[in-house]
Amino acid sequence: MDLAGLRVVDGHCHPFLRDPWQVPVAAFTDLFSEGRPGTMGAHIPHTGYFQRAIDEMARRLGTIATPEAVLERRLALGPAWARQAMTRSGLAALLVDTGYPPEAMSLDAMRRIVPCAIHEVFRVETCAERLLRQTTRWSEFQGTFRVELQRAAGRCVAFKSIIAYRSGLAVRHWTDDEAATAYAEALERVQRGGSSRLTDKRLLDTLFETTLDICLETGRPLQVHAGFGDPDIDLLQANPLLLRPILEDSRRAGLRIVVLHMAYPYVREAAFMTAVWPQVFLDLSLALPFLGPAASGPLVEILGLAPATKLLYGSDVGAVPDLFALAADWGRATLGEALDWLVSRGGLSPERGAEAARLILSDNAERLYGIRPE
């Protein structure tokens, strides 16, 4: 099924580097791995993701397929070439998680480069870590955190949590005294010159519950990391099924939760969740570019069970604009293969397959996040 003419809303991605043109080879290579920077350099060139990207970028740039040649050629062509590549790839909008990396190009600067709309996704843990250095009392911190989220809701299209990385998705309720104790311990660590990175389950769960409240108040969806990612994640605690108590809580029936990254390898669990809880949506990012053509298998399973109205294209790429264009083209192609597999076996009619593609690539995101087509 040829989806080349369909526009794409990238529902989950990250900002460009401050200088996305002068990129060292080692830093560029690390973009194709979830490993810790500098640790996988001998192995990344032997991954399918890296090889596909270098081959395709070299072909589009008209140079030889080496990182050095690709980086030299894209530097010579500059922003105009990147803008053309994103235009050809049909990118209509980017939903950008501004919480990572900490030093990146601003959204306003990105808007001057890209040919499409850009919308902010607000990462709540980054906000909390910033406030930890500004407040001393738990009650003050709580109130300020809530106000910051309410303000952010006026400009962002969604919130995002990475609690899966820190303490896992088995979120529970803690007493105010327990949360206050955890806050005091984190504050003491920071005042001694330690890291502001929040890891205490008591505090993170409490902040997550506050975020859920703000999502209900403001109508903003919540993107939740699930499945694989950087090596500091406990993958067993990143299973989205651990969110079930929240989904079954009648007080939060109006929530809309976007499970990120295809929840890979919890693909079946995530598809099941979209099929039984109306408030659950599934983003396809990270797994799509990393798996490449091999993502068609998981996609077939997802499409076989999940409502097409609950699935959202995303890339999770960042740093350099070239990857956004590649991911969009690859994502369309892989989705087309999966839909074609179902159509050829009577699982979908050609018309319904084409409708599902439009929903997944753009329409669902525009509806869920309340953004208008450009």
3-class DSSP state for residue 155? coil
Asked if the model's pLDDT at residue 373 lies above 90, the reply is no
Of 128-137, 233-242, 357-366, minimum mean pLDDT range: 128-137
Site of tokens 């409708």:
355
In the predicted model, what is the mean pLDDT of residues 171-188? 96
Residue type, 120: E
Q: State the Cα–Cα distance between residues 279 and 276, nearest whole angstrom.
A: 9
Asked if the model's pLDDT at residue 175 lies above 80, the reply is yes
Share of the chain above pLDDT 90, in %: 95
Each domain of the chain, given as residue ranges in start order, spans 8-369
Mean of the per-residue pLDDT values for the chain? 96
Which CATH architecture best describes the domain 8-369? Answer: Alpha-Beta Barrel (3.20)
Residue type, 90: G
Q: State the Cα–Cα distance between residues 57 and 51, nearest whole angstrom.
A: 10
- The predicted pLDDT at position 374 comes to 65
- The predicted pLDDT at position 301 comes to 97
- The predicted pLDDT at position 196 comes to 92
Asked if the model's pLDDT at residue 102 lies above 90, the reply is no
Q: From the centroid of its chain, how far is CA 99?
A: 11
In the predicted model, what is the mean pLDDT of residues 49-71? 97
pLDDT tens digits along 75-96 = 999 999 999 999 999 999 999 9
